[in-house]
Amino acid sequence: GAVVSQHPSRVICKSGTSVKIECRSLDFQATTMFWYRQFPKQSLMLMATSNEGSKATYEQGVEKDKFLINHASLTLSTLTVTSAHPEDSSFYICSARDQLAGTDTQYFGPGTRLTVL
């Protein structure tokens, strides 16, 4: 199946700093990618829909100025957690749909574990 990568896989940062997470579709193009957050023992929570060439669509309750999303190309979306605080510590997962494959299956990245000290 199609492959989605994330970088970094794990990051530890100090409170107040900004962290950028990259999501790449390695062997297909994706006009739409999705960003999720997952706290321990909880399900994935959709944060936003990333659209290539346009603004992201954020879910209710997600601060767009804190979680900056840039979908610069058909294979790359980035999530920047600005002025991170300990409560932002979480597992961040992206996904992308291979729209040309005909299966409409959504493929997920391996996740990025963010720890804010």
Partner 1 sequence: DAKTTQPPSMDCAEGRAANLPCNHSTISGNEYVYWYRQIHSQGPQYIIHGLKNNETNEMASLIITEDRKSSTLILPHATLRDTAVYYCIVQLYHRDDKIIFGKGTRLHILP
28 near partner 1, judged by CB under 8 A: no
Only one of the segments 13-21, 66-74, 82-90, 92-100 lies at the binding site for partner 1 (rule: CB under 8 A); that segment is 92-100
- d(CA 47, CA 95) in angstroms, rounded, equals 12
CB of 91 to partner 1, least distance (A): 7
How much helix, strand and coil, in percent to the nearest 5, is found in the chain? 5, 50, 45
Cβ–Cβ < 8 Å for 30, 96: yes
Burial profile 16-39: b = 16 or more Cβ within 10 angstroms, e = fewer: eeebebbbbbeebebebbbbbbee
49 near partner 1, judged by CB under 8 A: yes
Find the binder of partner 1 among 24, 37, 71, 97 (CB under 8 A).
97
- Residue whose CB is less far from partner 1, 32 or 89: 32
Find the binder of partner 1 among 69, 109, 114, 116 (CB under 8 A).
109
The residues that touch partner 1, with contacts defined as CB under 8 A, are: 1, 4, 6, 31-32, 34, 36, 43-46, 49, 91, 93, 95, 97, 99, 104-111, 113
